[in-house]
């Protein structure tokens, strides 16, 4: 993690003003993949990788945005914001500013510095964390209080999701922004993506979150995510034509698939089977975690990976290999591909006492078999976005 004192002094040197600094975490999803946009269940945890956003007011009506990662600074007019995205990293912070302005917030000129240590395109929600950190910073400089009844954590997550959907143009669900804003230390969170109610699921102190990066990149804006989502929605439309009360696959059952699956394309049927069974697994996994039944949790994660890989076809050879290579390592509780898919990271729940050896063994095996040296991190569940004092 970047030393916040250094981050502050760099902002001061660049913009001649002391910043207020906010941090928003990335996330790892333990189970519940591609269920959020079907109004289903997900069970992510915020992690100890984050984006920092430092903000200070300006008197010239400009918005200056500096990314320490890209070493690049851009200027905009607060009173004349770009109407659309430009496929540049500034789309994420600007999207948030545009959505907040659209909600009636008077946006003053400001200088914003952004830095993050979440590996980009690795399925750990770097973009959501930029959005959430920016949102907290912009609310602060605009004089809005957070959290408040006018702007709760779930509301903030929804606005950041809209920034990504409506401005950036990526059709993501609510999971990533929600957990970045509302994560809880030492807990995963079972989120009902229909009404955004949630319950905390404690991660035992002797369990490590080992995140293994296949080093194969994915992009939510890329075509596969959109295709899968369309296939899921097409399956839902078939069921809804018989049972109009089914608005999302959240409302559908395996029996529905057995009755009407033949009216779907083979791909839609498989995607729907993944989503419907994944919702059941996710709720069961939260119950297992609450009871401390780690063996059951591991079994559900294995089933979830098989379903993600075979029915949803959201995995890739490297991620399947990373999951397979973990299976017989001492201390493994459960492993699966996490996040949007088509590359990125696997999540391995591992007994803390075995975690270091696990990292070395898995890294060695993956490098030998795939020919890529992976980055593997021992993480812990962290709190949601907050101001740094």
CA distance 322 to 336: 9
Nearer to ligand GLA, 57 or 121 (CB): 121
Told to check if 318 binds ligand GLA by CB under 6 A, we report: no
For ligand GLA, the closer of residues 164 and 251 by Cβ is 164
Pairwise CA distance, residues 86 & 89, whole Å: 9
Give min distance, CB of 178 to ligand GLA, in A.
9
User: Is 176 an active-site residue?
Assistant: yes
Q: Which one of residues 15, 21, 30, 34 is an interface residue with ligand GLA (CB under 6 A)?
A: 34
Q: Which of 3, 80, 117, 176 is catalytic?
A: 176
Q: Choose one: 28-36, 106-114, 305-313, 362-370; the region binding ligand GLA (CB under 6 A).
A: 28-36
- Please report how close the Cβ of residue 220 comes to ligand GLA at its closest, in angstroms: 5
CB of 120 to ligand GLA, least distance (A): 13
Q: Name which position in 24, 36, 188, 359 contacts ligand GLA (CB under 6 A).
A: 36
Q: Is 171 exposed, middle or buried (0-12, 13-18, 19+ CB in 10 A)?
A: middle
Helices (H), the chain: 4-15, 91-102, 126-141, 153-162, 175-182, 223-242, 254-260, 266-291, 294-306, 317-326, 355-370
Using CB under 6 A, which residues numbered 146 to 185 contact ligand GLA?
A: 172-173, 175-176
Report the residue number, 56 or 315, with the smaller CB distance to ligand GLA.
315
Angle between helices 355-370 and 317-326 (to 10 degrees): 140
DSSP summary character for residue 253: -
Nearer to ligand GLA, 160 or 359 (CB): 160
220, 283, 325, 349: residue in contact with ligand GLA (rule CB under 6 A): 220
Closest CA to 180 of 119, 135, 229: 135
Applying CB under 6 A, which part among 30-38, 318-326, 329-337, 376-384 lies near ligand GLA?
30-38
Three-class DSSP category at 146: coil
63: Cβ contacts below 8 Å, ≥ 6 apart: 75, 76, 77, 78, 81, 97, 107, 109, 110, 111, 112
Return the range that interacts with ligand GLA (CB under 6 A); candidates 32-40, 232-240, 324-332, 353-361: 32-40
- The sheet that has 197-202: what strands, in order across it? 41-42, 187-192, 197-202
What positions carry a catalytic annotation? 176
- Which residues in this chain contact ligand GLA in the complex, by CB under 6 A? 33-34, 36-37, 172-173, 175-176, 220, 339-340
């Amino acid at each position: 993690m970047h030393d916040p004192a250094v981050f502050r002094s760099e902002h001061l040197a660049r913009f001649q003003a002391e910043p207020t600094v906010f941090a928003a975490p990335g996330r790892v999803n333990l189970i519940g993949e591609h269920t959020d946009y079907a109004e289903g269940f997900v069970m992510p945890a915020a992690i100890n990788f984050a984006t920092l956003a430092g903000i200070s007011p300006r008197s010239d009506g400009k918005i200056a945005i500096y990314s320490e990662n890209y070493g690049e600074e851009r200027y905009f007019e607060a009173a004349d914001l770009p109407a659309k995205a430009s496929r540049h990293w500034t789309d994420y912070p600007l999207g948030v500013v545009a959505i907040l302005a659209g909600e009636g917030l008077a946006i003053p000129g400001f200088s914003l510095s952004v830095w993050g240590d979440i590996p980009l395109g690795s399925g750990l929600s770097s973009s959501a964390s930029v959005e959430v950190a920016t949102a907290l910073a912009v609310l602060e400089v605009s004089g809005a209080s957070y959290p408040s009844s006018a702007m709760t954590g779930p509301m903030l997550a929804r606005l950041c999701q809209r920034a990504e959907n409506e401005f950036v143009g990526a059709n993501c669900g609510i999971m990533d922004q929600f957990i970045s804003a509302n994560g809880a230390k030492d807990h995963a969170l079972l989120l009902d993506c229909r009404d955004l109610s949630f319950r905390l699921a404690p991660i035992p102190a002797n369990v490590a979150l080992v995140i293994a990066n296949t080093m194969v990149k994915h992009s939510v804006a890329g075509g596969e995510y959109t295709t899968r989502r369309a296939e899921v929605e097409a399956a839902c439309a078939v069921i809804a034509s018989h049972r109009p009360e089914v608005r999302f696959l959240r409302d559908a059952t395996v029996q529905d698939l057995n009755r009407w699956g033949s009216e779907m394309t083979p791909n839609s049927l498989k995607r729907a089977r993944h989503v419907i069974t994944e919702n059941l697994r996710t709720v069961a996994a939260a119950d297992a975690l609450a009871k401390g039944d780690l063996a059951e949790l591991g079994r559900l994660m294995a089933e979830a990976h098989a379903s993600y890989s075979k029915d949803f076809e959201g995995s890739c050879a490297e991620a399947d290999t990373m999951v397979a290579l973990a299976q017989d390592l001492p201390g493994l509780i459960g492993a699966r591909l996490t996040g949007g898919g088509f590359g990125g990271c696997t999540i391995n729940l591992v007994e803390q006492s075995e975690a270091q050896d696990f990292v070395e063994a898995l890294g060695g095996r993956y490098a030998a078999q795939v020919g890529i040296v992976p980055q593997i991190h021992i993480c812990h569940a962290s709190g949601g976005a907050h101001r740094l004092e």
